Amino acid sequence: MLSEAVESYLTIRRACGFALISDGNLLRTFAAFADGRSERYVCAATAIEWAGLTESVFQRARRLGVVIRFARHARAEDQRHEVPLPVFGREKPPRPVPYILSRAEVQRLVEEASQSGYRSLRRRTYSTLFALLACTGLRVSEAIHLRFDDITQDGLVIRCSKFRRSRIVPLHDTARAGLASYLEMRCPYAPFDDHVFISLRRKPLRIEDVESAFRTVAIRIGLPREPGLPQPTPHSLRHTFAVRALESCPDGRDRISKHMLALSTYLGHSSISATYWYLDSTPSLMRDIAERCETLVTGVLS
């Protein structure tokens, strides 16, 4: 039955390093649906019908996309498998335009976090965390999973984060000093937990904790939150780091290529295309791109 082919596919993909937790659940559900009709091979009509059982268009596209990738794999060995057409469109909605903080906003955010709350440790935890996110571009999940041993002479060791990739993120002396100052206060509070950032419950921070603290501080300093406009979130600190790094990119095609590759590696992107996405994030970057294009076409420097 089709369920056996699905399990074989998942085993192969996971051996290559893919977790496929959500995809695996979806494929098993599809296989059970097809098995109920005694279908041993992927049928495009059945796949489209199954994918259409959910209300959201994007979720339909997502479900069908999972089957399409499986069908391509299965068809390579047996032509009786059909590869459905992506009739529901793209699997993911367009990425929202990120909110890019100014230097002054980052400074105000960190300062307000250092005064928010009634316990001094909480204040130091979030002011240090937000400052670290701003100056390193770490993902929130990477920062809250940091442990003492991850702070090395070479920088922060980010272990098996998104896409199961590890990397080292260099630390500026000021960032290293800020972390050390925070740890002097934090270590006596929860000496038996080696997570760098902890809550007042003496447990590692949760993403919901960080989002709530950021939202409180953002409201207090008056960051805009109008519907339909880019929204400031903790991830905005990573977006801001990436955009500022791109704004400092040197001229010259070879130097730009190396700069983009280095930044993509530093941020832990699985593909450099994820880094190129930031190029349309701010008017200044778009203006620089337009000027470079004009120079390339006309050969005249503006």
* pLDDT tens digits for range 127-167: 999 999 999 999 999 999 999 999 999 999 998 666 567 88
Cα end-to-end distance, the chain, whole Å? 66
219 CA to centre of own chain: 24
Say how far apart CA 194 and CA 38 lie, in whole Å: 53
Q: Tell me: domain 97-302, CATH 1.10.443.10, correct?
A: yes
User: What share of the chain in percent tops pLDDT 90?
Assistant: 57
Asked if the model's pLDDT at residue 209 lies above 80, the reply is yes
Q: Residue 120: what pLDDT? A: 85
Say how far apart CA 296 and CA 198 lie, in whole Å: 51
Q: Name residues whose C-beta falls within 8 Å of residue 22's C-beta, 6 or more positions apart in sequence.
A: none
Of 17, 175, 24, the C-alpha closest to 183 is: 175
Q: Residue 262: what pLDDT? A: 77
Least confident of 88-102, 183-197, 261-275: 261-275
Asked if the model's pLDDT at residue 246 lies above 90, the reply is no
Q: Residue 251: what pLDDT? A: 65
